[in-house]
Amino acid sequence: MRFAEYAEKLMGMDDSTWQRHANPWSGWSRLTVLPALALAAWSRVLIGPWAILPAIAALAWVWLNPRLFSPPKRKDNWMTRGIFGERVWLRRKSVPIPAHHERAGNVLNALSAVSGLVFIAGLIWLDVWATLSGMALTMLLKLWFLDRMAWLYSDMERQNAQHAAWSSGDAPA
């Protein structure tokens, strides 16, 4: 099982949760996760082992976020289409995607993993430049990945009726 599939199962992402996560408010507010984790990790300097509490709060936000928002009223915006594309990406074993999208997604995920390691190293060593550069690059690469996923969704909704139904409102996401 791929990491992303495992994370989806761990998060309990069913059709209803995906539909709610497709709300642009859910997608954009998820960009607060890495800064929240950074603040939690750096708070250990001030509050010692109590820093686990803001870390737990940040991780709880990851789970809670896709459940807080209603399904989007309009499904033609970039963030919603990017989130639909992420779902297409996760289904690529059962519904093949064009090779150029798979290559681009894999490259962006690999680069994001490397920048994520820089971010984690910065948190461990309390190195402000590693933390900030790793976080910024990881977030930038995530947005680039989302852009690619919006493109993937645009291509795939023309080829797959279930994918097309996500944006038409004819079926659950």
Report the 3 state secondary structure along 78-115. HHHHHHHHHHHHHCCCCCCCCHHHHHHHHHHHHHHHHH
- Residue linked to tokens 């033609």: 76
The helices-and-strands tally (H runs, E runs) of the chain is 10, 0
pTM over 0.85: yes
Q: Is 22 helix (H, G, I), strand (E, B) or coil?
A: coil
The domain ranges of the chain are 3-168
Per residue in 103-157, pLDDT (tens digit) is 999 999 999 999 999 999 999 999 999 999 999 999 999 999 999 999 999 999 9
Per residue in 35-91, pLDDT (tens digit) is 999 999 999 999 999 999 999 999 999 999 999 999 999 999 999 999 999 999 999
